[in-house]
Amino acid sequence: MKGLIQTILLSCLKATLLVEKDQISGLNPAERIQLKVHLSLCDGCRDYKDQSIFIGKSIRQKIESGDVNIQISKEELERIKGQILSKLGYIF
């Protein structure tokens, strides 16, 4: 039973990484459940998720409206995504 609980419950670090992964490439069903359970119990991570989504949307709106001109190569973007996903133990 203890192993099952440890599998379901995430640390805050893992939860915040899953929040970011969800915005980049989505979560698999097990990750989605783990994150949902963690967020139901952790106010800090719930706030982090809300802030992360807000910041991401704000940046995308600025870029799309032309207010900000960020030049990043596709290779650099993939490298950054890979770094985030590697922290979760995924090969990207």
Question: What angle, rounded to 10 degrees, do the helices at 29-41 and 43-65 form?
Answer: 120
Residues 51, 53, 54, 56: is their CA dihedral positive or negative? positive
pLDDT at 43: 94
Its pTM stands at: 0.68
pLDDT, tens digit (0-9, with 9 covering 90-100), for 34-86 = 999 999 999 999 999 999 999 989 888 887 887 776 778 888 888 888 887 77
- Spans of all domains in the chain: 2-87
Contacts of 45 (CB under 8 A, 6+ apart): 12, 15, 16, 19, 38, 39
Of 3-12, 14-23, 67-76, 78-87, the least confident: 3-12
